[in-house]
Amino acid sequence: DTGVSQDPRHKITKRGQNVTFRCDPISEHNRLYWYRQTLGQGPEFLTYFQNEAQLEKSRLLSDRFSAERPKGSFSTLEIQRTEQGDSAMYLCASSFARRTRRETQYFGPGTRLLVL
């Protein structure tokens, strides 16, 4: 399978616990994005990486959230001291930035987080 993969697919945790999600992009893609989608809403941008550099972060990404892409390949999104409001689907997408700037983002299956 050469698509974007995410792990785990589902996570149930208790409030106050830390969780970490992983995203493996399509291998030749240099850009990686994280989005959050709550029930009945469209995905909202959280952050993105160009190779290993984190170039933009949304205001939605509070200081409890941290994302890394240490080698410019896979990425992790960690949420510390989870709150019930963090319950959502976390989507990862990757793309290859070209000189023509025509860019298609390919999305993974998402990680559904439930904070009890």
Partner 1 sequence: KQEVTQIPAALSVPEGENLVLNCSFTDSAIYNLQWFRQDPGKGLTSLLLIQSSQREQTSGRLNASLDKSSGRSTLYIAASQPGDSATYLCAGAPRDGGYQKVTFGTGTKLQVIP
Contacts with partner 1 by CB under 8 A lie at 4, 6, 31, 33, 40-45, 48, 56, 91, 93, 95, 97, 101-110, 112
Cα 57 from chain centroid?
12
CB of 92 to partner 1, least distance (A): 8
Instruction: Count how many residues are written for the chain.
Output: 116
Of the pair 76, 105, the CB lying nearest partner 1 is at 105
What is the SS3 assignment for 27? coil
Position 109, amino acid: P
Of the pair 81, 99, the CB lying nearest partner 1 is at 99
Of the pair 47, 82, the CB lying nearest partner 1 is at 47
CB of 107 to partner 1, least distance (A): 4
Q: Do the Cβ atoms of 113 and 11 come closer than 8 Å?
A: yes
- HSE on the CB side for 91, CA within 13 Å? 16
